[in-house]
């Protein structure tokens, strides 16, 4: 379902996208780098936000939620130490094939590559720990990339996806269509594979009968 939205901030679009994907629960440690998202979540009464003491605990809660429900565990953490603390739970989700969507606050776009306070290149940091990593640099692309994140997290071999959210992008206002809910895409055997499977199964059956 796609719906046209009025002018919303990037943070409001993040929450609108989470609602479109029927997120009911998320886990977080609050941080100033994504205050716009937290403000929008305050008004989203259908999403239960669990505030944790430390990002490692929040990450493991989101990972456990994904394991128990089969739906992506949603994790929100701030940049730098917040993302580092969460990395163990994200890596666990990757190795255990647990669906997870991780939203990480990031420095403002004009500060990137200037060694700003707690700046980390999350594409490089999470590349070996997650299924996919991206950064949303334009507010109008928030629904598109969050939709892609959910699709990747649940399709094929499930796993964690990380999206970095520059703090100034979350304050930009725009109109963008919000798409959801996600639909998992499962890998399946092609026609040639099924022919080979029937041949192999037939040969095995013949061998069993001969052995008797």
What are the tens digits of pLDDT across the range 20-70?
999 999 999 999 999 999 999 999 999 999 999 999 999 999 999 999 999
The answer to whether residue 196 sits within a structural domain is: no
When divided into structural domains, the chain yields a total of 1
The answer to whether residue 95 sits within a structural domain is: yes
How many helices, marked H, and strands, marked E, lie in the chain? 7, 10
**pLDDT classification of 2: cutoffs 50, 70, 90:** very low
The answer to whether residue 203 sits within a structural domain is: no
The answer to whether residue 132 sits within a structural domain is: yes
Exposed, middle or buried, 144 (CB in 10 Å: 0-12/13-18/19+)? middle
Find the domain containing 77 and state its range. 2-182
Note the pTM of the prediction, 2 decimals: 0.84
76 pLDDT more than 70: yes
The answer to whether residue 204 sits within a structural domain is: no
CATH of the domain at 84: 3.40.50.970
The answer to whether residue 198 sits within a structural domain is: no
Contact 20, 14 (CB under 8 A): no
């Amino acid at each position: 379902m796609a719906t046209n939205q009025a002018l919303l901030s990037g943070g409001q679009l993040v929450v609108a996208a989470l609602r479109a994907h029927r997120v009911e629960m998320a886990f977080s440690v609050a941080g100033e780098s994504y205050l716009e998202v937290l403000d929008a979540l305050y008004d989203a009464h259908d999403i239960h936000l669990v505030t944790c003491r430390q990002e490692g605990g929040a990450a493991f809660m989101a990972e456990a939620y994904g394991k128990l429900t089969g739906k992506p565990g949603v994790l929100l953490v701030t940049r730098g130490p917040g993302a580092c603390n969460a990395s163990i739970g994200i890596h666990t989700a990757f190795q255990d094939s647990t669906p997870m969507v991780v939203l990480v606050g990031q420095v403002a776009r004009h500060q990137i590559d200037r060694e700003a306070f707690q700046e980390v290149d999350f594409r490089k940091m999470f590349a070996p720990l997650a299924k996919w990593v991206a950064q949303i640099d334009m507010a109008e692309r928030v629904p598109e990339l969050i939709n892609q994140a959910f699709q990747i997290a649940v399709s094929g071999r499930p796993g964690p996806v990380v999206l970095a959210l520059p703090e100034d992008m979350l304050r930009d206002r725009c109109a963008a269509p919000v798409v959801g809910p996600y639909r998992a895409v499962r890998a399946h055997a092609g026609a040639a594979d099924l022919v080979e499977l029937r041949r192999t199964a037939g040969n095995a059956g013949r061998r069993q009968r001969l052995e008797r």
